[in-house]
Structure 1
Amino acid sequence: MRSNPLRTTQIPAGKVAVWQLVNRAARILRVQLSGEAFTAYSLPSRTPLPGAQPGTIVFDADPDLVDARELLPQHGDLWDAVREEYWSALLNMSDLPSSQAGM
């Protein structure tokens, strides 16, 4: 069985998304906003995460890309970059035999 490695998408604006390709969907795990000093929290519960790096948002339920975009629409530039990397990863995965593609 093939594992689903963590993937990182970073854009010049100092935004980073950590995600996984799970069953052909991009599942977003967390976002790091460099230069932001707010106390880390989880979404959608808004639970503070004082032990995490400031500027971090951790998703409670690993939303897909559409859900993440709805939760944090102001970061469309990051979601666009994740979408590009998602399609690249998905197309590379389709080149594998189905027994190796994690299905």
Structure 2
Amino acid sequence: MSDRRTEVDGWQAIWRIDRHRIRMLLVRNLSESQPLLSVPAPATAPDLVQMREQFPERSRLWDAIRHEYWTEFSAPQELS
């Protein structure tokens, strides 16, 4: 599993796809040293829905992550 990185409006999120769920590993304002969220173990990481409910003011970031997820998830897969 590879981590993805999304940046919007000076905010950065590092996230991972886990069984079709988006797990948030790190969310931070790029101009601040203290992260909004930092999770050491991906298994305990909140999903995108939880983050959207807890931090609705970051909706542009959550929307961008959701867009990237669906772009990747729905992209045609190459045949081997």
Normalised to the residue count of structure 2, the TM-score between the two structures is: 0.80
Mapping for residues 78-93 of structure 1, pairs under 5 Å = 78-92=61-75
Q: If each structure's helix is expressed as a fraction of its own residues, which one has the higher value?
A: 2
Residue correspondences, number: 75
Cα shift readout 1:29-49 (whole Å, capped 9, x = no counterpart): 11010223xxxxxxxxxxxxx
Q: Which residue of 1 aligns with 2:7?
A: 10
Provide the aligned C-alpha RMSD in A. 1.9
Mapping for residues 36-47 of structure 1, pairs under 5 Å = 36=32
Normalised to the residue count of structure 1, the TM-score between the two structures is: 0.64
* Structure 2, unpaired ranges of 5+: none
* Structure 1, unpaired ranges of 5+: 37-53, 98-103
Mapped to 1, the partners of 2:78 and 2:16 lie a distance apart of 18
% same residue: 32
With a CA cutoff of 8 Å and minimum separation of 6, indicate the structure with the bigger relative contact order. Answer: 1
Structure 1: 4+ residue segments shifted above 3 A: none
Aligned partner of 2:31 among 35, 49, 52: 35
The structure having more radius of gyration, on CA atoms, is 1
Q: Which residue of 1 aligns with 2:56?
A: 73
